[in-house]
Amino acid sequence: QSALTQPASVSGSPGQSITLSCTGSSNDVGYFDQVSWYQQRPGKAPELMIYRVTNRPSGVSNRFSGSKSGNTASLTISGLQAEDEADYYCSSYTSTNTVVFGGGTKLTVL
Amino acid sequence: QAQLQESGPGLVKPSETLSLTCAVPDGSITDYYWSWIRQPPGKGLEWIGYIYYSGNTNYNPSLKSRVTISIDTSKKQISLKLSSVTAADTAIYYCARDHDWGSFDFWGQGTLVTASS
């Protein structure tokens, strides 16, 4: 299985909205609505931010939102804050009942 | 909420077998699927495989020939064995709870395993 494709880096200024993309195939992202997003700060385990494309776990800020179109999923962070600076990973359940991750995007808050 | 706790040797010789365990802090071990996920230093996440308390497993095709994941519900532990390790298997290894079809809501702190002689 091939890793999902994410841009290596994205940057934005405080207060801005930014969108991270995650491109897969008809065997994963496009297969059904089981895309998740994770935030990982240096030296820490990943933290679930979005599941089932659009759902936020309890405690996650509503500044984080997810969407999907075809084989591409997106994570939008609105009202960017310094604390949002981290690595972000997408993942998808696949048609063969496995899980595939993206390569990760490093978000820099300018 | 108590964390998942990975444990095992931090150093494994090339060609030998990596063995890790993950302690589940409560009785939820029979309620969820459990996965192992790894992350080479400075690189991205890679899913290794999952297990359910019934023994149902599935593995990453790229690792399938070398991986075994098992579960002991009485000890509330999940185990990972990866055989014939090479330097490419050097990574932080995480166990994680799958709460919704490949969505991991609860992670251990991770344990670094280095494959080196």
Note the pLDDT tens digit of each residue in B2-29. 689 999 999 999 999 999 999 998 888 9
Cα separation of B2 and A59, whole Å? 17
Q: Do A34 and B45 touch (CB under 8 A)?
A: no
Q: Do B47 and A99 touch (CB under 8 A)?
A: yes
- Contact criterion met (CB below 8 Å) for B114 and B40: no
Contacts of B94 in chain A (CB under 8 A): 45-46
- Contact criterion met (CB below 8 Å) for A99 and A48: no
Number of residue pairs across A and B with CB atoms under 8 Å?
Answer: 67
Q: What is the pLDDT of residue B1?
A: 60
Mean pLDDT of B69-74: 96
List A residues 46-105 in contact with B (Cβ-Cβ < 8 A): 46-48, 51-52, 57, 89, 91-94, 96-104
DSSP annotation of B4: B
Q: Do A93 and B102 touch (CB under 8 A)?
A: yes
- Percent share of chain A, pLDDT over 70: 100
Tokens 């993942």 label which residue?
A91
Q: What is the pLDDT of residue B2?
A: 62
What SS3 class is residue B14? coil
Q: What is the pLDDT of residue A1?
A: 80
- Does A110 lie at the interface with B, CB-CB under 8 angstroms? no
Out of B37, B44, B102, the one facing A36 most closely (by C-beta) is: B102
Please, which pLDDT band fits residue A62 given cuts at 50, 70 and 90?
very high
- Contact criterion met (CB below 8 Å) for B24 and B78: yes
Q: Do A51 and B105 touch (CB under 8 A)?
A: yes
